[in-house]
Amino acid sequence: MNFSEMIAEVPGIGQYVQAQTPHLLETRNLKAGYLGREVVTGANITVKRGEVVALLGPNGAGKSTTLLTIAGQLPPVDGIVMLSNVPTFTPMYQRVRNGIGLVTEDRLIFTKMSARDNIKIGGGSVERVLELFPSLEPRLDIRGGMLSGGEQQMVALGRALSRDPQLLLADELSLGLAPMIVDRLLSAVRTAADEQGIGALIVEQHARKALKYSDRIYLMSRGRIQMEMTSDEARSRLDEIEEAYLAGTSESEEDHIERRRRKDVRQAWGRLRVKERELRRLSGTQVSRRRTGEDDKILDDEQHRRDSQMRIRRGRKY
C-alpha cells in the first residue's frame, strides 16, 4: 500500500486531503533548451506524493534536458516549474537543500574519496544507505573510482534517498548496468515512495523496467510530451508504444538546435527580402542583388567552417 492509498483510507478526511494536497512537482508549459534555443516544448508534468512517474523516450528526445531544468541546472526558456504549488526560480543547490534529491547519469561520485566519504559529503546517512543496499558494507572504505558502475549508482541513489527528500529526480539509473542491479535500484525508489511518501520522477530508456515500478508514465519524443497514461495501461499497449515512439532515436539535441537556428536565420532573411522588394517598388532602384539560393550557401559554408575547426581541435587537419 502506497502513501496515497493510506491517506485515502483515513475515515472522513482521506478524500479532502487528497483534493487539497498540492502536487510535489508541476510544470506548466515548460520550454527548455540551451542558449535560449528550445529543445523541449510545452511540457506539462505532475508528480504527487507517494507516486513514481517515469519519463520515457528514445535518445535525444529531451528527457535529460527536462530533468535538468526541473532540478535548476538549466534555466527554462519559458514556462514555470512549481514545487509544492510554489513557482520556483532558485538555482539547483538551493532546490537540493529544500528537499530535492538528484541522481544524474554521471552519478556524481568523487573518485578519490571512499564510498563512506562520498555518502557523508552529500549529507547522507551511511546507516540508511546500508539499509537500502547491504552489499555496500564491505565496500565503504574503497575509493569511489574503484567501485563498479552498479556500486557507484547505489552510493549516489542511497545518498539521495537517505536525506529524506520530498522529491527524487533520477536520470538514467539503468545506464550501463546489469538488469539485476537495475531491479535493485528501481525497487529502492519504489520502496521509498511507498514507505516514506516521497515523489519520484525517473528518466528511463528501458520502458519495461520502468513500467514495472512506476505508477504513471509520460512518453516524450522530439521534445514534446506525446502521451500520458498509467503504467497498467502502458503495459497493455507496450508493443504499440515501442513501435511508434521508442524504436530508434530522435534527432540529437545539437541537431535540433542547429535546425531551429537555420530556420530562424531563413525567416529573418525572408523578412529582409520583403523589405528590399518594398524599397525597390517605392524607390525604383535595385536595393540588393542577393538571391534566395545564396542563403543556403552561407549556412553551408558556416557549417563547413565549424566542422573544420572541430577536426583541427581533434588533431586532424583534413
pLDDT tens column, 170-217: 998 888 788 888 899 999 999 999 999 999 999 987 788 889 999 999
pLDDT recorded at residue 136: 92
Centroid of chain to Cα 215: 18
- Residue 100: which H helix or E strand, with range? strand 100-103
Look up the CATH superfamily of 3-250: P-loop containing nucleotide triphosphate hydrolases (3.40.50.300)
pLDDT at 15 over 50: no
Structural domain spans, the chain: 3-250, 254-313
Residues 6+ apart with CB under 8 A from 178: 150
Residue 129: other Cβ atoms inside 10 A: 26
pLDDT given for residue 189 in this prediction: 94
Say if CB 152 and CB 83 are below 8 A apart. Answer: no
Q: Are 55 and 203 in contact (CB under 8 A)?
A: yes
pTM of the full predicted structure? 0.70
Counted residue by residue, the chain has a size of 318
Q: What is the distance between the alpha carbons of residues 238 and 203, in angstroms, rounded to a whole number? A: 17
Task: Give percent of the chain with pLDDT exceeding 90.
Answer: 40
Give the per-residue pLDDT at 310.
Answer: 73
Rounded Cα gap, residues 63 and 148, in angstroms: 26
Q: What is the mean pLDDT of residues 248-270?
A: 64
Half-sphere exposure for 199 (CA within 13 Å, toward CB): 21
